Every structure is written in structure tokens, then in C-alpha cells.
């Protein structure tokens, strides 16, 4: 009986490790897919249009897609009411740096069966300035369609740029009257 119990516990541990490795691979694939789409928009500027969001669709959680859609509607409402005013969201929305990233490397991913996170090493290289490098964190959720980007935690440490999380920035734009 003890042998059977020990065998079952050992098997569960091995299966748990295999699932964790599989989840990390799935998380990394979602983050890399998201950034592959992002790279086609460099420089990224503001809230993506519906056509541009469609390109991100396979990599975004339903919650993040809804926030982006609601923010785009709020921005259109704002633009209509404030002719000539700058948009609610300017610059790169998906990274800490206003100018965005020119190179990205997704690093380690971890989490559980429902939520995960991947570190992303980003760099902006401009011939007229010193390169800037930082880490943002991609927050993921496991949906029925697989791992999807649910939020981004900005990690840049400079005075100007995105702070907090992408979802917070979008909610702020949505609530602007």
C-alpha cells in the first residue's frame, strides 16, 4: 500500500513538472506571437485601430481586447468633442517607452495552470541617442483557446513613459470625459 501511494505521488510530481514546462512553453509562444505582431507596427502609436487589433487577436485575452475596443471608442468620442486636441493615448501603448522597442527578447515564463507571466527584455536603438534597455512583464491568462496576453506591467524606470499596467492606462482613457 505504501509503495502504491509513493508511486502515485511520484507520478503526480513528474506530471506536474511536465505540465509546468508545457505551460511555460505555451506562455512563451503567446508572448512571442504578440511581439511578432507588435514588431510589424514599429513605431507603435496609440490605441490600435480595429484592423490593427485584428492582427493581435490570436494573442490577446478577451478582457484585453475589450479594453482596447472601449479605449478606441472613448478616444473617438474625445476627438469628436475636442477638435484639434491630441489623442488620449500617444506613443507606444505596449511598452514602457514612448518611442517603443526596436528589439524584444522574451525570457523566462512562469505561473500556474490559469495565469502566467513572462519577462520581456526590450531595447530601443536610435542612431541619434544612446540605446535604452529595460524589462517589461507580460501577464498572461489561459483561455479555452490557449495562453493569451492579458496585460503588460511596465518596467521602465525613467521619469517619463508608461507606468503601472497597460490595463490601468486603458481604463484611464476610457473614463476620460
Residue 154: per-residue pLDDT: 98
Residue 16: per-residue pLDDT: 41
CA distances from 141 to 30, 42, 70 (A): 10, 25, 20
Q: Which long-range contacts (CB under 8 A, 24 or more apart) does 22-26 make?
A: 23/109, 23/111, 23/112, 23/113, 23/116, 23/142, 23/147, 24/108, 24/109, 24/110, 24/111, 24/116, 26/142, 26/146, 26/147
Q: Does pLDDT of 14 surpass 70?
A: no
> For residue 21, what pLDDT band results from cuts at 50, 70 and 90?
low
The total number of structural domains in the chain stands at 1
Residue 42: per-residue pLDDT: 72
Residue 62: per-residue pLDDT: 98
Residue 24: domain span: 2-175
Residue 156: per-residue pLDDT: 94
What's the pLDDT tens digit per position in 78-106? 999 999 899 989 999 999 999 999 999 99
Q: Tell me if the pTM is above 0.95.
A: no
| pLDDT (average), residues 161-174 | 96
Residue 52: per-residue pLDDT: 94
What's the pLDDT tens digit per position in 129-154? 889 999 999 999 999 999 999 999 99
> For residue 20, what pLDDT band results from cuts at 50, 70 and 90?
very low
Amino acid at each position: 500500500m505504501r509503495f502504491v501511494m509513493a508511486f502515485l505521488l511520484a507520478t503526480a510530481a513528474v506530471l506536474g513538472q511536465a505540465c509546468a514546462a508545457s505551460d511555460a512553453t505555451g506562455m512563451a509562444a503567446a508572448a512571442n506571437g504578440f511581439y511578432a505582431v507588435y514588431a510589424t507596427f514599429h513605431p507603435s502609436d496609440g490605441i490600435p485601430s480595429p484592423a490593427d487589433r485584428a492582427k493581435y487577436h490570436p494573442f490577446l485575452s478577451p478582457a484585453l481586447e475589450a479594453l482596447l475596443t472601449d479605449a478606441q471608442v472613448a478616444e473617438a468620442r474625445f476627438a469628436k468633442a475636442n477638435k484639434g486636441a491630441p489623442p488620449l493615448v500617444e506613443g507606444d501603448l505596449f511598452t514602457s517607452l514612448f518611442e517603443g522597442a526596436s528589439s524584444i527578447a522574451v525570457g523566462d515564463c512562469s505561473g500556474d495552470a490559469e495565469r502566467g507571466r513572462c519577462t520581456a527584455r526590450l531595447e530601443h536603438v536610435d542612431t541619434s541617442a544612446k540605446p535604452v534597455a529595460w524589462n517589461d512583464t507580460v501577464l498572461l491568462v489561459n483561455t479555452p483557446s490557449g495562453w493569451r496576453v492579458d496585460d503588460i506591467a511596465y518596467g521602465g524606470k525613467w521619469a517619463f513613459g508608461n507606468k503601472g499596467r497597460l490595463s490601468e492606462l486603458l481604463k484611464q482613457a476610457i473614463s476620460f470625459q
